[in-house]
Copies of this chain bind each other. A is one copy, B any other.
Amino acid sequence: MKIGIFDSGLGGLTVARAIVDTMPAYDIIYFGDTARTPYGSKSRETVIQYACENTELLIQKGAELIVMACNTAASVATDVLRKKYNLPIFEVITPAASLVASFKTIRRVGIIGTRATINSNAYTEQIAKHRPDIKVYAIPCPLLVPLVEEGWIDKPETRMIVKKYLHPLKVRQIDTLILACTHYPIIKPVIQKKIGRRVTVIDSAQAVAQQLLHHFRDINHICTNETQGNYQFYVSDITPHFEKIAQSIFKRKIPLAVASSANF
């Protein structure tokens, strides 16, 4: 089974890493659309088109299952992709939302993400479906992706901007914060510090990897090979910081090749 994963850029590698850590024997093919990144400030129609093109590239390269490791794409393109393509489509929103809904003690949830993800209301609707009693406060934080991509992980300016974005959530006294963007786990220590220790900060990488594992169990397709699967990584543009960022996210050196999904 070859798992296809795509993101607007490199953030999705946090999801790829969780999948590799959980299911090392599966083959992985990753595509980061760095030539058109970021998706979070683009329109719904454009993001849907890019998500379709990325899916077609991954299918053409042998993927039998797709993981949208991009919250922006997941928030607007999931239904379109499931209707259009005849293979399982996983996304990063439902697993995190279900995880939150399953904890009875959670009452006040904050969500931070790109403008497109927050405007879609996807998390809020998913949580409300299971737990209408949970209060949800969602805040777009569009500058966090460029700050992470610049490697400004723990600079005073980053801490100041994070503090500004999180202020309305602190006032609301949230007990849980969802990082609704696959870039944000990279600055999780800053986020945790600014929101306070009492708040549980969760990201979707672990949740989606667990959901995938359950899926393989359900369909009796558990790969127990002891040998590591074959991992392939493609990007649509090799940018200056690319390898450094990829390595810092994936915690190992990965070979990157170039591919284009445009007008597939």
Contact = CB atoms under 8 A, between A and B. Distances in A.
A16 to B, nearest CB: 21
Interface string A175-196: 0000000000000000000000
Given A146-B146, A157-B164, A240-B115, A35 B41 contact: no
Interface residues of A, number: 28
Interface in A209-242: 236-240
| Residue among A146, A152, A238, A239 with max Cβ neighbours from chain B (10 Å) | A146
A156 to B, nearest CB: 8
Contacts of A42: 34-35, 237, 239
Contacts of A143: 143, 146-147, 150, 152
A224 B257 CA distance: 54
Contacts of A239: 41-43
A31 to B, nearest CB: 15
A56 B115 CA distance: 32
A198 interface: no
A67 B220 CA distance: 60
A149 to B, nearest CB: 7
Q: Closest 8 A-B residue pairs measured CB to CB?
A: A146-B146, A263-B263, A46-B237, A35-B46, A36-B36, A43-B237, A42-B237, A157-B161
Given A42-B239, A142-B150, A156-B160, 19 more contacts: A34-B42, A35-B42, A36-B36, A41-B149, A41-B239, A43-B237, A43-B239, A46-B236, A46-B237, A115-B240, A119-B240, A143-B143, A143-B147, A143-B150, A143-B152, A157-B157, A157-B164, A262-B262, A262-B263
11 contacts: A35-B36, A36-B36, A41-B149, A41-B240, A43-B237, A43-B239, A115-B240, A119-B240, A143-B147, A157-B160, A157-B161
